[in-house]
Amino acid sequence: MAPLVRRMTEADIADVAQIQVEAFGGNVDSRMRRLSEGGRYAWQDGWVVEMDGAVAAAAISIPATWWFAGAPHPVSAISAVGVRAVARRRGFASELMRAVLQADGELGRPFSLLYPFQHGFYRRLGYATVGFTHFYRLPTAQLPDNRLLRERVRMVQPADYQAVYELYRWSLAHGAGGLERNAAQWNDRWISGDERWVIYAADDVEGYLVYQPIERQLNI
């Protein structure tokens, strides 16, 4: 029987969660909860490959907006492309992605974005590198000190939510651009447990920084 590529249904949640755990780690319960409750994405954004009545592969295609040069563009943000360990090297991921890209184009999303696990695989599907993500690890002992500037930096508070969100929105249209988060995605990202958020404010909030403190270093 030929594999069937189709939209994910609510009945697929447990199978897709298991595939995500096999491919990316974590635990099934938390993966199922994310697919059920939404936030960054939900099961309605999912696609699967069904083979012999069982789900063999899955992917998430999130409708999104990408800001570039001050203008918004409709895109699909691809996430969690995974194949069951026993079903790999059979072309399921490629077949799944081709179906997703065709459907996204028909829905008016001509651009597709992702972080590739392997550039060669996605290049064969038409993707190309358009940017790089930079991570910085800064020893705090080597950072110059400025008392006046330091006095204007403080930990973010719940009351700062709207000001920080407006800065983020401003940066999309007037700064480097990037992927726009909807309200649910922003709430999911807002002050997550393993990060620290600080703001720079003289009178009004002028900037914010998210970092991880690890052994007297800042991971940004």
The residue to which tokens 């972080």 are assigned: 115
* CA-based nearest residue to 196, from 178, 180, 184, 214: 214
Where residue 1 falls among pLDDT bands split at 50, 70, 90?
confident
Question: Strands (DSSP E) along the chain, which ranges?
Answer: 4-7, 46-51, 54-68, 71-83, 111-113, 137-139, 153-155, 178-180, 196-201, 205-213, 217-219
- Here the tokens at position 172 are 């999309």
Delimiting residues of CATH 3.40.630.30 domain(s) in the chain: 4-123
**pLDDT, position 172:** 94
Total-model pTM: 0.82
* CA-based nearest residue to 72, from 179, 144, 159, 215: 179
What CATH number belongs to 4-123? 3.40.630.30
**pLDDT, position 41:** 87
| Count of helix runs (H) and strand runs (E) in the chain | 7, 11
CB-neighbour burial class of residue 96 (10 A; exposed 0-12, middle 13-18, buried 19+): buried
Mean pLDDT of 68-96: 95
* CA-based nearest residue to 37, from 179, 164, 175, 188: 188
Does residue 185 carry a pLDDT above 90? no
According to DSSP, residue 204 is labeled S
Residue length of the chain: 220
User: How far is residue 192's CA from residue 201's CA, in Å, rounded to a whole number?
Assistant: 21
130-134, 164-168, 177-181, 192-196: the lowest-pLDDT one: 192-196
How confident is the model over 84-131, as pLDDT tens digits? Answer: 999 999 999 999 999 999 999 999 999 999 999 889 999 999 999 988
- Averaged pLDDT of the chain: 91
CB 77 within 8 A of CB 56: no
**pLDDT, position 6:** 97
CB 153 within 8 A of CB 199: yes
Does residue 83 carry a pLDDT above 80? yes
Does residue 190 carry a pLDDT above 90? no
